Amino acid sequence: MGGVSTEHPISLKSGKNIAQALISRGHQVCAVVLRPDGKWTVPPAFMDSSQVAQIVAKPPAGEFPERSLCALRDLDIDVVFPALHGPNGEDGTMQGLLHIMGFAFVGSGHLGAALSSDKLVSKALYREAGLPIAPHLMLTVADSPETGLQLGLPLVLKAPSQGSSFGLAIAKTEEEYFAEFQRIMPLEGRLMVEKFIKGREITCGVLELSDGSLLGLPPTEIVPKVSEYFDFAAKYNVGGSDEITPAPITPENTALVQDLAVKAHRALNMRGLSRTDFILTPGGVILLETNALPGFTETSLFPQAAQAAGYSFGEIVEHLIIAALAAAPGHSVFQR
C-alpha cells in the first residue's frame, strides 16, 4: 500500500481496510508501506490490527525495494495483495516485479494492468472489440491545442494514465479548454480530449469466480453532490456523492452494463477483478474506462457492489487472495 503516486493516501486507506479484514478472518498479514520517497517499510513479522493502523499512520524509515523483497521472501509470504492505485501501482510495473520475484498476487497480471491504466490504449482495444466509446483524440506537447476543439464543446480532458480523477476536467468554453489543456498536459506530455457525453454515471464491477467465469456485479449509479462530476472530492469525501447500488435502471440496461463490463474485462486481458465506468444516455451506453485495482476504502464502489451481490468486505478480499493462489503457476489452493 502507499506508493509514489498522487494516490498514496487513498492507497493507504485501501490497504489498511484489506489488512484488517484479512486479520479478522484468521489470516497472517504483513502490512508493507511503500513510502513517497521510494523506499519500502516491511515489518519484521506478521501484525495485529492495531499494529497495521500504527504503521499506516506513521511508517518507520524504509529500505530500498530490493532489500524489502528479500525480507518478504524471508517471511514466507504466500500471496501479495497490491492495494496500490495510479502509476507504478496498477499500471503493470508492480505486477511485473511481483511476477519476476515469484509471488502470487491479487488482480491482473502486468499486461492487463498496463493496458487498462492507459486510457488511450484501452480505448483502441474497446473499439477493436466493438464496444461503444465516445469520439476522442490524443494530443501531445507537439500538437496545437486547437486540434481538440474539432470535436465540439463541451469536452473532457484527461491525462491518460492518472487515476482517482486526477488530471481530469470538463471544459464548456474555449477559455476553460485552453486553461485546462495547459494544466493537464504537463502531467504526462500528452492528453486525451474526448467529446463530453451527458447522461447518468454508472459503474459496474466484475469478479472472477472460482470456476474462471466472470460475474458482473450489481451496477452502481453515482450522483455527485459536491462537484459537477465524479472528481476526487466527490469520489472520496464521505457524503461527496450518492452511490446507489443496485442502480435504479431498467433490467435491460442492468444486463447491458454487466455484459459490457465483462467484455471490457476480457478485451483488456484482466484477471481477478475490475470495475468499468459508463455513461448511460437515452440512446444507449458509452464505455469510459476500466480500473484494474478498484479502491477498498470506506466509500469505494467495488466493495459496495460486492456486498449487494452477497459478499461481505471480508469475504470478497478473502475470495480474491484464494483466487490469486489458485491462478499462480505451481500453486493449488486445494493443496495448501
Q: How confident is the model at residue 335 (pLDDT cuts 50, 70, 90)?
A: very low
What average pLDDT does range 304-313 have in this prediction?
Answer: 95
The residue ranges of every structural domain in the chain are: 8-106, 115-131+198-327, 136-195
Q: Which residues contact 226 (CB under 8 A, 6 or more apart)?
A: 233, 234, 237, 239, 240, 241
What average pLDDT does range 74-95 have in this prediction?
Answer: 91
Spell out where the chain has E strands.
Answer: 33-34, 40-41, 79-80, 104-105, 136-140, 155-158, 168-171, 190-195, 200-208, 214-216, 220-224, 241-244, 273-281, 284-291
Q: How confident is the model at residue 226 (pLDDT cuts 50, 70, 90)?
A: low
- For 115, 120, 177, 300, 312, the CA distances from 88, given in Å and listed in that order, are 13, 18, 29, 21, 29
Return the higher-pLDDT residue of 6 and 111: 111
What average pLDDT does range 82-104 have in this prediction?
Answer: 91
- CATH code for the structural domain at 8-106: 3.40.50.20
- CATH code for the structural domain at 136-195: 3.30.1490.20
Q: In the predicted model, is pLDDT for residue 334 greater than 60?
A: no
| Alpha-helical regions (H) of 62-221 | 65-74, 93-101, 110-117, 119-128, 174-188
What average pLDDT does the chain have?
91
Report the C-alpha gap between 241 and 114 in whole angstroms.
29
Cis peptide preceding 59, ω within 30 of 0: no
Report the C-alpha gap between 160 and 156 in whole angstroms.
12
Q: In the predicted model, is pLDDT for residue 207 greater than 60?
A: yes
Give the angle subtended at the CA of 277 by the CAs of 274 and 279, to the nearest 5°: 160
Query: Into which CATH architecture does domain 115-131+198-327 fall?
Result: 2-Layer Sandwich (3.30)
Percent of the chain with pLDDT over 90: 79
Percent of the chain with pLDDT over 70: 92
What average pLDDT does range 133-153 have in this prediction?
Answer: 97
Q: How confident is the model at residue 332 (pLDDT cuts 50, 70, 90)?
A: very low
